[in-house]
């Protein structure tokens, strides 16, 4: 069950409201790299967690923290919109800076939300929950989470660069910090489970009889003219410790030429196909 405190997790100050930056900040709320995504992802993973209960707790605790991130980011968006132009007169100033602002804002921040945050990204596209990855496999989920936090910290760093507002930089430096923790936190679970070697290949419960293992450890060069890129993936022990990497420098088809024959009558095809 959830509870709420009236105060924000972190202080939000906006020294110079900037409605274009409000649009950009939306990516951190409703973008695929944003906070709605991780809040919901950890929440659904927690609800489906099977096995050691401590991972469930950990997921739910961080899901709860991410809800608080949505909250202070939402406040930051609203503060940046406080003085956005609401009328043709306000918007029509000949000042080129205002002109650029009008071109660069999300018009729905005026037309639809009334100067408030929306659950959308920087293009105004609503977040959709297909981005909530929760497989029921702990290692797959931990990778998904580390990935989400990695792309989240990339985004927060770019937002940090795109503003000169001291309040916003301070808030984003907190977000960058928490993303630092969170991306490592999920990888630490894998380390605790014995590390990558023990966890790979995901799922590590697939019986070996289900796998055509003669195809499991070679890099396939599908290029007609480029040499096989040499690296850790073409040489040395595989990361799961079960085999050795190699390369096939020239890919060859192993299957048949597909042929579906003629169409059945009553199938809605043209007569010539039947």
15 binds its own copies (CB under 8 A): no
Encoding tokens for residue 147? 């990935």
244 binds its own copies (CB under 8 A): no
Report in angstroms how near the CB of residue 237 gets to its own copies at its nearest. Answer: 10
Report in angstroms how near the CB of residue 107 gets to its own copies at its nearest. Answer: 5
Footprint of its own copies on residues 69-128 (CB under 8 A)?
Answer: 70-72, 74-75, 78-79, 82, 86-89, 91-92, 94, 96-104, 106-108, 110-128
31 binds its own copies (CB under 8 A): yes
Q: CB within 8 A of 263, min separation 6: which ones?
A: 269, 270, 273, 274
Footprint of its own copies on residues 182-211 (CB under 8 A)?
Answer: 183-185, 187-189, 191-193, 196, 199-206, 210-211
Report in angstroms how near the CB of residue 81 gets to its own copies at its nearest. Answer: 9
31: number of CA atoms within 13 Å, CB side? 21
Among 32, 35, 38, 244, binds its own copies (CB under 8 A): 32
The answer, yes or no, to whether the previous bond of 201 is cis (omega within 30 of 0) is yes
Encoding tokens for residue 209? 């009889």
CB nearer to its own copies: give 38 or 57.
57
35 binds its own copies (CB under 8 A): no
Instruction: Tell which residue, 176, 156, 144, 184, has the closest CA to residue 38.
Output: 144
* Three-state DSSP class for residue 108: helix
Provide DSSP, 20-34: HHHHHHHHHHHSTTS
- Are the C-beta atoms of 19 and 105 separated by less than 8 Å? yes
Residue 80: how many other CB atoms lie within 10 Å: 27
- Are the C-beta atoms of 148 and 33 separated by less than 8 Å? yes
Cross-strand bridge partners of residue 220: 248
Among 62, 80, 167, 244, binds its own copies (CB under 8 A): 62
38 binds its own copies (CB under 8 A): no
Among 14, 22, 38, 144, binds its own copies (CB under 8 A): 144
Cross-strand bridge partners of residue 219: 247
37 binds its own copies (CB under 8 A): no
Among 35, 147, 166, 244, binds its own copies (CB under 8 A): 147
Report in angstroms how near the CB of residue 41 gets to its own copies at its nearest. Answer: 9
């Amino acid at each position: 069950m959830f509870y709420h405190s009236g105060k924000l997790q972190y202080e939000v100050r906006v020294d110079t409201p900037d409605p274009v930056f409000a649009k950009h900040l939306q990516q951190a709320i409703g973008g695929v790299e944003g906070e709605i995504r991780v809040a919901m992802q950890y929440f659904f993973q927690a609800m489906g967690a099977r096995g050691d209960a401590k991972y469930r707790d950990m997921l739910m605790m961080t899901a709860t923290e991410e809800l608080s991130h949505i909250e202070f980011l939402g406040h930051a968006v609203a503060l940046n919109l406080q003085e956005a132009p609401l009328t043709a007169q306000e918007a029509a100033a000949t000042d080129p800076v205002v002109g650029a602002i009008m071109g660069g804002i999300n018009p729905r921040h005026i037309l639809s939300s009334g100067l408030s945050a929306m659950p959308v990204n920087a293009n105004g596209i609503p977040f959709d929950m297909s981005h909530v990855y929760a497989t029921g496999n702990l290692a797959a989920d931990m990778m998904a989470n580390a990935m989400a936090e990695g792309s989240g910290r990339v985004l927060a760093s770019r937002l940090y660069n795109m503003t000169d507002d001291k309040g916003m930089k301070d808030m984003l430096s907190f977000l960058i910090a928490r993303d630092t923790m969170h991306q490592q936190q999920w990888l630490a679970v894998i380390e605790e489970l014995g590390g990558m070697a023990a966890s790979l290949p995901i799922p590590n419960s697939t019986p070996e009889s289900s796998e055509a293992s003669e195809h499991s450890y070679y890099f396939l060069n599908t290029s007609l003219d480029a040499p096989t890129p040499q690296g850790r993936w073409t040489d040395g022990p595989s990361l799961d410790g079960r085999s050795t990497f190699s390369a096939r420098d020239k890919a060859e088809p192993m299957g048949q030429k597909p042929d579906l024959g003629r169409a059945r009558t009553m199938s809605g095809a043209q007569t010539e196909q039947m």
